[in-house]
Amino acid sequence: MLSQLKLGIMKYNKSSVLALLLFSPCILAQTCTSNDKCSVGVDFKGNYLEKTCDVSINNGSMYETVVLPVISVTTLDHEGAEAGSQLFSITLKNCPTNKAISLYFASTSAGVDALTGNLPNAKGADYSEHVEVRLRNSESQQMLVDDPESNQNYDVSLSGDVTHYYMASYYAAENTQVTAGLLNTSAAIVVSYK
């Protein structure tokens, strides 16, 4: 049984996010045609001030797969059971120095279970049912997927490099027996600069 958690990176710079979210549109002209169709011109401006960190997962690239261990379905015999933890690291390198940086996990096409904050498993004939992947930080606190408040802070020193460790584990999501099969899910890593 091969179990995978794929991680990818999304980097955000505070100024670039603000430029996208807090733009001030300029209405250039309003042209209306028949049938109440109007077009309005809008200008967008932004300012990129700093570089972003280079990200490495398990001392590899920014796109790595965390392989969870093979476990028996009997270890996930009730709702909320958690087993088969796998440690992985996320290193931020060459960061802007003396910056507060936070990291959280975001859903990809795999989605997120809104009740548990976990990553759901892929669907299909060969995939395990009723199992998810739960993510925890180095202090064993759950990191809720898609929750920017559920983050890990990185205080970047003068060297510009810092590493934190995380844990991914199987999680029995429902009060129904987990079935044997494959696990495959993914998450994005969101890095924000303050």
Instruction: Report the 3 state secondary structure along the chain.
Output: CCEEEEEEEEECCHHHHHHHHCCCCCCCCEEECHHHCEEECCCCCCCCCCCCCEEEECCCCCCEEEEECCCCHHHHCCCCCEEEEEEEEEEEECCCCCCEEEEEEEECCCCCCCCCCCEECCCCCCECCCEEEEEECCCCCECCCCCCCCCEEEECCCCCCEEEEEEEEEEECCCCCCCCCEEEEEEEEEEEEC
Residue 96 covered by a domain: yes
Query: What is the percent of the chain where pLDDT is above 90?
Result: 51
Q: Is the pLDDT of residue 71 over 80?
A: yes
Evaluate whether residue 142 is within a structural domain: yes
pLDDT greater at residue 178 or residue 99: 178
**Residue 110 placed within a domain:** yes
- Write out the residue range of the structural domain in which residue 78 sits: 3-12+51-193
Asked whether residue 46 is domain-assigned, the answer is no
pLDDT at 146: 95
Whether the predicted pLDDT of 46 surpasses 90: no
Could you give the count of Cα atoms lying within 13 Å of 17 in the half-sphere of its Cβ?
11
Number of domains in the chain: 1
Region 84-109: mean pLDDT is: 88
Residue 25 belongs to a domain: no
- CATH code, domain carrying 70: 2.60.40.1090
170, pLDDT greater than 50:
yes
Higher pLDDT, 35 or 164: 164
Q: What is the pTM of this model?
A: 0.75
| 138 domain-assigned | yes
The whole-number pLDDT of residue 106 equals 93
Residue 187 lies in a domain: yes
pLDDT of residue 30: 45
pLDDT at position 23 is: 34
- pLDDT over 70, % of the chain: 74
Looking at per-residue confidence, does 189 or 193 come out higher?
189
Mean pLDDT of the chain: 80
24 in a domain, yes or no?
no
